[in-house]
Amino acid sequence: MEKLVIHGGNKLCGQVSVSGAKNAAVAVIPAALLVNGKCRIENVPKIKDVIVLCDILSQLGAKVEYAGENVVEIDATDLAYHSAPYEMVKKMRASYYLIGALLGRFCKAEVAMPGGCDFGSRPIDQHIKGFEALGAKTKIKNGIITASADRLCGAQVYLDVVSVGATINLMLSAVLADGVTVIENAAKEPHIVDVANFLNVMGANIRGAGTDVIRIKGVRSLSGGAYSIIPDQIEAGTFMVAAAATRGDVLITNVIPKHLESITAKLVEMGAKVEEFDDSIRVSCLPPKTLHKANVKTLPYPGFPTDMQPQIVALLSVVGGTSIMTENVWDCRFQYIDELKRMGANIKVDGKVAVIEGVGCLSGSPVKATDLRAGAGMVIAGLIAHGVTEIHDLHHIDRGYEDMEGKFVSLGADIRRIVCGKK
Ligand code: EPU
């Protein structure tokens, strides 16, 4: 087992480069199962979720090679299996994309119900509604979802909730179906556009990704090609908040500033300075500048991302005034607040609302990462706290951030990973 040890109080200054987007990579990699031929995928983040997913693809019979620092080549031409059992998929939520990809490829998929971060109930009814609209029969038995059809036919699907996963899964199952599929009330996150762009480069016909109506005209087959994953919006946002929180000055490179607008707007509202360039963004908040309270509501893109909620709450916990965080995407994403309270934060949670009284400063303490983004929030809390913070349960952070502590160290943070006994 490992833990992060942070001596708080250092300003972050300098330049840091953002890796490829986790939530795009974990969809593009299964999407390669639909392709006859080799897909070269660049700017792939080196994170646990990607390693697990690549391993699953190999076990399914795809050829998977790490062809460079952040490059993965996948050739699923001779894919052998349509079935991904529990032992394979239990470690990650995004394994649900295997259902759409295998269904699209073989008209048959058997995939165990996914694992991943625990935010309360995580239904997949909208994914299933979409598969059934395309003509698949589905059942869930003994923890396995089975979807099968003689053939898949395009259909019009209106999603009852704006769901990233259901939107992508439907695209995956529809690209090789007969006829046209229209997804209405689709999610608009940057990674949805990225998956559509990847599939289009491989020969698919998808229009409208990034709007709430996506049209997919089925094609006979996809063939190989090269594609580069977009930069990670949430990793970039994490550095933006960390720069402001430590009253530092950081240039964050390899970003798409447009994807960061809701985060930029909130930091500016709080008093930070944010400058946008073509593919970088600079956040500074050097003293005597101070930050003040803000109310934040998480929403699907282009709203403020739920995956930035713990990071901004860590910052709000030390600024002047009373802030209100309203979580509108997940039922239960405040588990980490007890950990922040150990560090002296004054936060009251009532249902989907957290009321945060700024306390001026936090004090270092042992805490755990209760999930991936909560872990990022605890790191920011540790960076601004007085004294030493130890963060346990790092496997959550390792699922989604490439070399997080290395990047923070390069900005001047005092943060070390140490081995702390066996699990
Ligand atoms: N929902 C349903 N039915 C469904 C699907 C979703 O009711 O069939 C509800 C969920 O319960 C939730 C809302 O719709 O209340 C949104 O869920 P969504 O399907 O959009 O989430 P997801 O696809 O499971 C992805 C990201 C999450 C991120 C959410 C929201 C991946 C692999 N995961 O999850 O990212 O929080 O979208 O933006 O893309 C993370 O990266 O830390 C992470 C958790």
3-state secondary structure 306-320: HHHHHHHHHHHCCCE
Q: Which ligand 1 atom is at minimum distance from the Cα of 234?
A: 41
Nearest CA to ligand 1 atom 25: 164
* CA-based nearest residue to 165, from 118, 129, 203, 218: 129
Single residue among 228, 250, 275 that ends a domain in this structure: 228
In terms of domains, do 49 and 171 share one?
A: yes
Q: Is the CB of 329 under 6 A from ligand 1?
A: yes
Per residue in 236-260, pLDDT tens? 999 999 999 999 999 999 999 999 9
Mutate to test the pocket of ligand 1, among 19, 23, 98, 185 (most ligand atoms within 8 A of CB): 23
Mean pLDDT over residues 359-385, rounded? 97
- 376 and 261 in a single domain? The answer is yes
Mean pLDDT of 208-237: 98
Average model confidence (pLDDT) across the chain: 95
Contacts of 21 (CB under 8 A, 6+ apart): 45, 190, 191, 194, 229, 230, 231, 232, 233, 234, 235
Give CA separation, 62 vs 44, 59, 73, 224, 331, in Å.
18, 7, 10, 13, 37
* CA-wise closest residue to 248 among 20, 404, 16, 416: 16
Same domain, 179 and 258: no
Q: pLDDT tens digits, residue range 291-349? A: 999 999 999 999 999 999 999 999 999 999 999 999 999 998 999 999 999 999 999 99
The pLDDT score that the predictor gives to residue 31 is: 98
Consecutive H or E run containing 170: helix 164-174
Least confident of 95-109, 116-130, 150-164, 207-221: 116-130
Q: What are phi and psi of 185, to 5 degrees?
A: 60, 40
Does residue 198 share a domain with residue 63? Answer: yes
Both tokens assigned to 260: 């960061």
Q: Is the CB of 396 under 6 A from ligand 1?
A: no
**CB neighbours of 191 closer than 8 A, spacing ≥ 6?**
21, 23, 24, 27, 164, 168, 230
From the CB of residue 346, how many other CB atoms can be counted at a distance below 10 Å?
A: 13
Please state which of the ranges 109-123, 168-182, 192-206, 310-324 shows the lowest mean pLDDT: 109-123
- What gap in Å lies between CA 175 and CA 154, rounded to an integer? 9
Residues designated as active site = 117
Q: Are residues 56 and 185 in the same domain?
A: yes
Give me the CATH number covering residue 246.
3.65.10.10
HSE-CB for 346 with a 13 A CA cutoff: 11
- Do both 154 and 61 map to the same domain? yes
Same domain, 363 and 392: yes
In angstroms, rounded to a whole number, what is the distance separating the alpha carbons of residues 318 and 8? Answer: 13
Would you state the pLDDT for residue 422? 59
pLDDT at residue 282 in the model: 98
Domain end residue (candidates: 199, 228, 257):
228
Kindly state whether residues 223 and 240 are assigned to the same domain.
Answer: no
Find the 124 Cα to ligand 1 centroid distance in Å. 9
Same domain? 263 vs 372 = yes
Q: Are residues 273 and 405 in the same domain?
A: yes
Range 222-243 average pLDDT: 98
Measured from the Cα of 372, ligand 1's closest atom is 42
| Residue 298 CA from chain centroid, whole number | 15
Same domain, 169 and 256: no
Q: Report the DSSP pairing between strands 280-284 and 273-276.
A: antiparallel
Look at residues 173, 200, 228 and tell me which one is the last residue of a structural domain: 228
Q: How many residues does the chain have?
A: 423
Residue 145: give the domain boundaries: 22-228
Total number of domains constituting the chain: 2
Q: How confident is the model at residue 120 (pLDDT cuts 50, 70, 90)?
A: low
Can you tell me the distance from the alpha carbon of 43 to that of 229, in angstroms, rounded to the nearest whole number? 5
Predicted TM-score (pTM) of this structure? 0.97
CA distances from 261 to 80, 246, 313, 379 (A): 43, 21, 18, 23
Do 81 and 221 belong together in one domain?
Answer: yes
Q: Say which amino acid occupies 260.
A: L
